[in-house]
Chains A and B, each alone.
Chain A
Amino acid sequence: MSAPNDSKRDAIFSYGIGYVVALALTAAAFAIVHWPNFVSTTTLSIVLVLAVVQMGVHFRFFLHIGLQKSARDNLQLILFSTLLVILMVSGTLVILFNLRTRMM
């Protein structure tokens, strides 16, 4: 049953990679806010992109969601939930900010 790369060392290594990459992404996001180099909207988009990438890293290395068959049900569930979340959050923001500008 134990495939060649199903060893304790590889498991620890996988968590280690995830940890180091997540640390780097976190540090980058905080650094770019602490020492601003861009206009605020550019900074905000960079921070949000870094956050999405870091979430992907967490799902891949800590929660072990990948394209392998055993994780596929979970992956579909997560992608569908993400779709619902995007629809609800962006819908809320669009409608209420539109209302806000009209009430100004």
Chain B
Amino acid sequence: MSANEVKHAGLNLGGTDESTHQQAVSPVFGFWLFLMSDAVIFALLFATYGVMLFATVGGPTPASEYKILPVFLETLILLTSSFTFGMASVAMKYDQSRRPLLGWMAVTLVLGLAFLGMELHDFAAMFADGAYPSRSGYLSSFFALVPLHGLHVFFGSIWIIVMMVQVITFGLDARVKINILRLSLFWHFLDIVWIAIFSVVYLQGLIR
């Protein structure tokens, strides 16, 4: 392991594109700083949710609003999209042609949009049930936390489209590669936030 610091695709391009790999070090570290401050925002919204969990004022409760199957499917979709983005990173690192990279990014985009569609459907069902943000402290904190993650996925999807356009118009130069590295970090990070959401919010609410 020690002689081989540049083993992994995704986080670095060492081995196939050494000069971009050198240039990427500080932009990628800067993006990690952003991700960690974003993680702090999410963590505090989780704390708020935990505090508000019992503030249902006789209204809808977690057990009455959450359904396990849609959440499980959303989890599978997001996890698979993380894997397909990994395949896009591998394609960017090793493949000569741009087509595999664009293909995997397109698959990731479709999965991201499918996730958003299912999540919006869940929210619509909750609204129809009388579970809207101003109903109780519990629902306010729920709708501060979970849709914020959805908003991140939405902007991540827009970012994927922007990067596909950049790959097509500029080709795979160093700048585009570094941008895709940052996008991959963002996308994998969103999947990690979702682990916390499905465990702390949904599964905790569904435990009998």
Q: A11-B94, A36-B208 are in contact. Are A63 and B68 (CB under 8 A)?
A: no
Bound form: Cα–Cα A10–B206 in Å: 39
B64 at the interface (CB under 8 A from A): no
Bound form: Cα–Cα A29–B68 in Å: 11
**Inter-chain contact A81/B207, CB cutoff 8 Å:** no
Interface of B is mostly: helix
Which of A30, A55, A84, A89 gathers the greatest number of chain B CB atoms within 10 Å? A30
Q: How many residues of A contact B (CB 8 A)?
A: 56
Total A-B Cβ pairs within 8 A? 160
A67 to chain B, nearest CB (A): 8
Give A31-67 interface residues, CB cut-off 8 Å to B.
33-34, 36, 40, 43-44, 47-48, 50-51, 54-55, 58-59, 62-65, 67
Taking a contact as CB atoms closer than 8 A, the residue among A58, A64, A69, A97 that contacts B191 in the complex is: A58
Bound form: Cα–Cα A46–B110 in Å: 32
B10 at the interface (CB under 8 A from A): yes
Taking a contact as CB atoms closer than 8 A, the residue among B40, B51, B82 that contacts A96 in the complex is: B51
Taking a contact as CB atoms closer than 8 A, the residue among B54, B199, B206, B207 that contacts A50 in the complex is: B199
B192 at the interface (CB under 8 A from A): yes
A73 to chain B, nearest CB (A): 6
A-B contact pairs, 17 of them (CB 8 A): A3-B4, A6-B4, A6-B7, A6-B14, A11-B90, A12-B90, A19-B80, A33-B203, A40-B207, A55-B192, A58-B192, A63-B185, A74-B32, A77-B36, A84-B40, A85-B40, A96-B51
